[in-house]
């Protein structure tokens, strides 16, 4: 999608929704209020449009920090956290509906497409969209189809020639071959011709047409059309269209057709249910207006505080244990998000150089690893991987920062799941008990992302055995627990995931106290 197009759509959507101003928010929420919120999926599906949601909030306030936890094309379940957003409260509230509308709309298309694509496996037919799209949103909808695993048909009438019944009648051609011959002389674009029955198919099989669209034919008729093509030794592509639903698409794919176009992908989908929930709000004190006579006293006080408080002047990334013990208050998550946003556009080689630099502080290093993981880990070439793994493992072995350790361990699993799942995941599970809530949350979120789409018994076994040992060691403490706290609930959720894959027979290997909580 062209950035100019996306920007225009977002501006029009915001102008439509906000109008001359958000009366409720502007009159109830202080201008200096800041909040943190999460985008949460309320149902299972395929996510699409995360970047659009980010651009909606950024269009309202560039200071907003948007941290995606799910990428476009990934599957989510009910309760999955798609993204975390922090920044001015007014911008979050005013952009909420437009961001959710776009995200839900596109995720619904991607989800619908993925259902159709999965339904025909292992057959190789391409699942394609049509021009039956919402006016002005075709680029977005086609992107959602691709995200769901589908293939785009022609974008507009200029992309290729498609001869339908009405064209043949309107141009006065008595035979289809006449229309094809005329087009071949006047354009070099691909030519597709619609046929309604097998007799029309036979008429044009030997023509210079590229694709033949089998319109409203039954699966049996489509199979006969495939046979006729093979018999004629023709290389023309066959596309089925019309009356195709999720219930019968597998029959069309089994008939041997090359392409199946489904208008329902973009005109009859159901939006994915997604919500935005606030988790923190704070209002910073407003500096009062200083009377003229008191001005000199205020300036004196200001500069005195400035020079006697070194914490105000130093980089938060360099705060040491002495500052912590002396009562300095700071927000680990805010620092990490800030540096992540700062390094978001850095190229891969710069990020790797930062990770390799032992003098780089823990927040900056963690952010560099995170950006690398989110932007580049899935695109690493095989000849680059060994060197990148060497850099990450070296930094992991040299760092005593739990932030850096957790982020690198997750990245190693993303880069080479087979080799590092067994060694990294048990440590991440242990990190869930870290005294710092930001570290424990990072570890749990990483484990959720690692395990969410996995169906491998080997991986489920590793998680199961690690948690089983932990539960047996804490068996006495579990005896008196009726309502699990957050950390225990998270472990139980991971245990449930492993049991779903391994089978309920594994329950008998767990302490009775755990079984009761499950």
Mean of pLDDT values over 337-354: 92
Q: How much is the pLDDT for 283?
A: 59
Q: What is the pLDDT of residue 282?
A: 72
Take residue 509 and report the two structure tokens written for it: 């290997």
| pLDDT value at 329 more than 50 | no
132 is catalytic: yes
pLDDT of residue 313: 33
Q: Which two tokens stand for residue 384?
A: 């680059």
Confidence class of residue 331 from pLDDT cuts 50, 70 and 90? confident
Which of 141-145, 287-291, 350-354, 453-457 is the least confident region? 287-291
Reported confidence tier of residue 41, pLDDT bands at 50, 70, 90: very high
Summary mean pLDDT of the chain:
86
Told to judge if 58 belongs to the known catalytic residues of this protein, a careful annotator would answer no
| β-bridge partners, 127 | 260
Is the pLDDT reported for residue 292 higher than 60? no
Of 22, 194, 239, 337, catalytic: 194
What is the mean pLDDT of the segment spanning 481-487? 84
Alpha helices in 232-309 (DSSP H): 249-254, 264-267, 295-308
pLDDT at 507 over 60: yes
- Cα separation, 303 vs 312, in Å, equals 12
| Biggest CA-to-CA distance, the chain | 100
Catalytic residue chosen out of the listed positions 215, 273, 317, 422? 215
Lowest mean pLDDT among 437-441, 448-452, 475-479: 475-479
Q: How confident is the model at residue 317 (pLDDT cuts 50, 70, 90)?
A: very low
**What angle (nearest 5°) sits at the alpha carbon of residue 315, between those of residues 314 and 316?**
110
Catalytic residue (choose from 58, 146, 164, 250): 164
What does the pLDDT read at residue 447?
92
Q: Where does the pLDDT of residue 74 fall: very low under 50, low under 70, confident under 90, or very high at 90 and above?
A: very high
Query: Pick the catalytic residue: 38, 42, 58, 132?
Result: 132
pTM beyond cutoff 0.75 = no
Per the DSSP assignment, residues forming a β-bridge with 448 are: none
More confident residue, 191 or 324: 191
Phi, psi of 452 (to 5 degrees): -60, -35
Question: Is 385 a known active-site residue?
Answer: no
With bands split at pLDDT 50, 70 and 90, how would you rate the model's confidence at 332? confident
Distance, C-alpha 273 to centroid of its chain: 15
What distance in Å separates the CA atoms of residue 290 and residue 287, rounded to the nearest whole number?
9
pLDDT band at 302 (very low <50, low <70, confident <90, very high): very low
Q: What is the pLDDT of residues 177-214, one digit of tens each?
A: 878 888 888 888 899 999 999 999 998 998 889 999 99
Q: Annotated catalytic residue: which of 97, 119, 131, 333?
A: 97
Q: Let me know: does 494 contact 433? Beta carbons within 8 Å.
A: no
List, in sequence order, every residue forming a beta bridge with 100; answer none if it has no partner: none
Q: Is 487 annotated as catalytic?
A: no
| pLDDT value at 400 more than 90 | no
Asked whether residue 349 carries a pLDDT value surpassing 60, the answer given is yes
| H helical segments located in 474-511 | 475-478, 486-502
Average pLDDT over residues 219-238: 94
Token pair 């197009």 is found at 5
Walk across the sheet containing 191-195 and list its strands.
126-128, 259-261, 237-241, 211-215, 191-195, 161-163
46-55, 301-310, 335-344, 505-514: segment of lowest average pLDDT: 301-310
Please report the pLDDT score of residue 173 as a whole number.
59
Distance in angstroms (rounded) separating the CA atoms of residues 435 and 12: 46
Quick one: pLDDT band at residue 340, thresholds 50, 70, 90? very high
Q: In degrees, to the nearest 5, what angle opens at C-alpha 51 toward C-alphas 47 and 52?
A: 95
Nearest to 240 by CA among 184, 76, 248, 131: 248
Instruction: Give the length of the chain.
Output: 518
Confidence of residue 301 (pLDDT cuts 50, 70, 90): very low
Query: Do residues 414 and 372 lie in contact, with contact meaning Cβ atoms separated by under 8 Å?
Result: no
Distance CA 399, CA 132 (A): 55
Catalytic (active site) residue 349: no
């Amino acid at each position: 999608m062209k950035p100019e197009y996306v920007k225009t759509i977002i501006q029009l959507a915001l102008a439509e929704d906000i109008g001359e101003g958000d009366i409720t928010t502007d009159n109830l929420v202080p201008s200096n209020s800041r909040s943190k919120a999460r985008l949460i999926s309320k149902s299972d599906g395929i996510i699409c449009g995360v970047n659009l949601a980010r651009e909606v909030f950024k269009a309202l306030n560039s200071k907003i920090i948007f941290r995606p936890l799910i990428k476009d094309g990934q599957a989510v379940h009910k309760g999955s956290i798609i993204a975390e957003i922090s920044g001015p409260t007014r911008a979050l509230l005013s952009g909420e509906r437009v961001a959710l509308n776009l995200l839900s709309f596109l995720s619904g298309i991607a989800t619908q497409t993925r259902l159709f694509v999965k339904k025909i496996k292992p057959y190789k037919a391409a699942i394609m969209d049509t021009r039956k799209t919402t006016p002005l949103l075709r680029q977005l909808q086609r992107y959602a189809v691709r995200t769901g695993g589908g293939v785009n048909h022609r974008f507009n009438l200029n992309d290729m020639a498609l001869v339908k019944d009405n064209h043949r009648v309107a141009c006065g051609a008595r035979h289809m071959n006449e229309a094809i011959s005329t087009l071949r002389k006047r354009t070099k674009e691909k030519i597709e011709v619609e046929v309604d029955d097998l007799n029309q198919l036979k008429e044009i099989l030997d023509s210079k047409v590229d694709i033949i669209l089998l319109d409203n034919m039954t699966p049996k008729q489509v199979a006969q059309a495939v046979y006729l093509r093979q018999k004629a030794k023709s290389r023309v592509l066959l596309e089925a269209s019309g009356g195709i639903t999720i219930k019968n698409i597998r029959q069309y794919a089994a008939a041997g057709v090359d392409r199946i176009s489904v208008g329902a992908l973009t005109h009859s989908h159901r939006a994915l249910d997604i919500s935005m929930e606030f988790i923190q709000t704070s209002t910073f004190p407003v500096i009062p207006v200083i009377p003229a006579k008191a001005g000199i006293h205020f300036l004196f006080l200001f500069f005195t505080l400035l020079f006697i408080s070194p914490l105000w002047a130093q980089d938060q990334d360099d705060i040491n244990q002495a500052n912590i013990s002396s009562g300095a208050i700071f927000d680990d998550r805010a620092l990490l998000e800030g540096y992540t946003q700062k390094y978001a556009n850095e190229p891969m080689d710069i990020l790797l150089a930062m990770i390799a630099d032992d003098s780089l502080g823990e927040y900056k290093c963690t952010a560099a690893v995170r950006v690398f993981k989110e932007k580049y880990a899935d695109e690493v070439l095989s000849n680059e991987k060994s060197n990148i793994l060497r850099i990450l493992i070296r930094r992991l072995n040299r760092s005593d920062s739990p932030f850096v350790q957790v982020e690198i361990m997750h990245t190693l699993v993303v880069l080479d799941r087979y080799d590092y799942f067994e060694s990294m995941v048990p440590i991440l599970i242990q990190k869930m008990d870290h005294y710092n809530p930001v570290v424990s949350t990072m570890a749990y979120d990483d484990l959720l992302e690692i395990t969410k789409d996995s169906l491998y018994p080997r991986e489920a076994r590793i998680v199961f055995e690690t948690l089983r040992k932990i539960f047996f060691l804490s068996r006495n403490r579990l005896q008196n627990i009726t309502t699990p706290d957050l950390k225990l609930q998270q472990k139980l959720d991971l245990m449930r995931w492993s049991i779903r894959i391994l089978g309920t027979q594994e329950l008998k290997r767990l302490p009775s106290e755990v079984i009761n909580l499950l």
